[in-house]
Structure 1
């Protein structure tokens, strides 16, 4: 009996220690989710995840003394993934919106962006946002573009796709008259697609932020502090120059 009690006592002690060990291990890890299909912010090159968001989050992790653990899913699943606590933060060219603030926390803005139109190079019929009325416009599910067009341009026929790449493909083959997406990504894409062009006049001006679980306010504060430090030590400017200066012009 004595041995059995001792054995049970050990089992209880071990089972109590396991969650503590798991927490101790995960305390140094930030689980970050992204959709790596959006160059120059996040994409795969030679089988490796890279881009401005990826390198900036890794830089912030180093400043905070934390390891970044990456997961890739479709953009529309990023916010639900934070709400369900599968992930701690999302880094995926996410625009700061009041709607998103209701369900997740957002860091200080880390880059100014905006929505632009991508059309065929030969198309002169679309020069400004109002010209999209009555036309077919491709947008990526779960992005700011969807609700922005719903709210401000209800006359547009939205063609909603899963992936960023699909939007441009639809414009190229004539199944959509335009695609609406973030400016840096649009400029990056048309560099290698001479059949497409970006309309200079923006549809809207937005700010990018990292999304964080609502129940982790300390992580939001730590990311903001690390972001501030990266701007002071020059590492932030180095990444902007590397990834965004050429596409932002």
Structure 2
């Protein structure tokens, strides 16, 4: 009887854990995790989250009649947070990849980015081929790590936790270049004289919101809201604000 009682308790707990994420998203609040260290997509200014991803997510939630409960975590923990049920979704300039789609669902793509090379103006790195043998810094948990391993095996990777750390290492000469997302690299080069982004892009990628596979209705609601803000002009306003009028 004791064993049976414990077994039933365990099954009940497992069932409740499975239902918890769905019931949470079905309410008025969507729990979303982000890593606000990737301007202009997401960042923290004066203690407040801002950026294209942040404002667009808030606009989507408004169109859905919901509010967002944000939680800040490192990029490498975003997908695990969704998988564990601690979050309903992750919004943080996440590339839609086949590997990630095995673990989570994705909304329709809301912006096209890609991997690029940031280096100094006087750097000998002029083309992608010049990366061979160089010290290239990348952020842990991003596609940059695996991509360099597979396609640029002669590169000496310097892995760090935050985007800003990559830029700092290039600035002080401890890395020859950084491989990161195009929006952040472009913005950094614009704001910091002496840096450039190579014209030759490494990849072209689609950004999407990662959603728990337990919440297919949430994915559908996000997609419908995205159509709504594109039709009412709000999406274009955000593009104008954060990307200087350059549409994806």
TM-score by length of 1: 0.87
3-state SS of paired residue (2:93):
strand
Tell me the alpha carbon deviations over residues 53-103 of structure 1, each in whole angstroms, 9 at most, x when there is no partner: 000000000000011000000101001111111000111000110010010
Distance 1:183 1:33 in 2: 21
1:137 maps onto 2:136 in alignment: yes
Q: Structure 1's 230 and 180: CA in aligned 2 closer, same or farther, altered over 3 A? A: same
CA distance in structure 2 between the partners assigned to 1:78 and 1:108 by the alignment = 18
Aligned to 2:193: 194
- The 1-side partners of 2:89 and 2:101 are apart by 13
- Which deviations, in whole Å up to 9, do the C-alpha atoms of 1:104-163 show, x marking residues without a partner? 11111100111110011111x212222101111000011111111112111111110000
Query: 2:241: which partner in 1?
Result: 242
Instruction: Give the paired residue count.
Output: 228
Partner Cα separation in structure 2 for residue 171 and residue 160 of structure 1: 12
1:155 aligns with 2:149: no
Q: Residues of 2 paired with 1:131 and 1:209: CA distance?
A: 31
Q: Which structure has the bigger radius of gyration? A: 1
List structure 1 segments (4+ residues) > 2 angstroms apart after TM superposition. 23-26, 245-249
Change (3 A) 1:230 1:246: closer
Matching residue of 1:213: 212
Mapped partners of 2:167, 2:25: distance in 1: 42
1:180 and 2:179 aligned: yes
Instruction: Give runs of aligned pairs for residues 69-108 of structure 1, distance below 5 A.
Output: 69-108=69-108
Aligned-residue RMSD, C-alpha = 1.9
The alpha-carbon deviation at position 248 of structure 1 amounts to 7.7
Question: Structure 1's 226 and 26: CA in aligned 2 closer, same or farther, altered over 3 A?
Answer: closer
Asked if residue 110 in structure 1 is aligned to residue 110 in structure 2, the reply is yes
> For each residue in 1:4-49, what CA deviation from the matched residue of structure 2 results, as whole angstroms up to 9, or x when unmatched?
xxxxxxxxxxxxxxx99xx589711100000001110100112211
Alignment correspondent of 2:168: 169
Gaps of 5+ in 1: 1-18
Q: Shift of the alpha carbon at 1:245?
A: 2.8
| In 2: Cα distance, 1:240 partner to 1:55 partner | 11
CA contact (8 A) 2:114 2:205 kept: yes
CA contact (8 A) 2:113 2:183 kept: yes
Structure 2: give runs of 5+ residues left out of the alignment: 1-18
CA separation of 1:172 and 1:219: change in aligned 2, threshold 3 A: same
Matches within 5 A, 1:117-128: 117-123=117-123, 125-128=124-127
Do the aligned partners of residues 117 and 246 (structure 1) sit closer, same or farther apart at CA in structure 2, a change above 3 Å counting? farther
TM-score, normalized by length of structure 2? 0.88
* SS, match of residue 77 in structure 1: helix
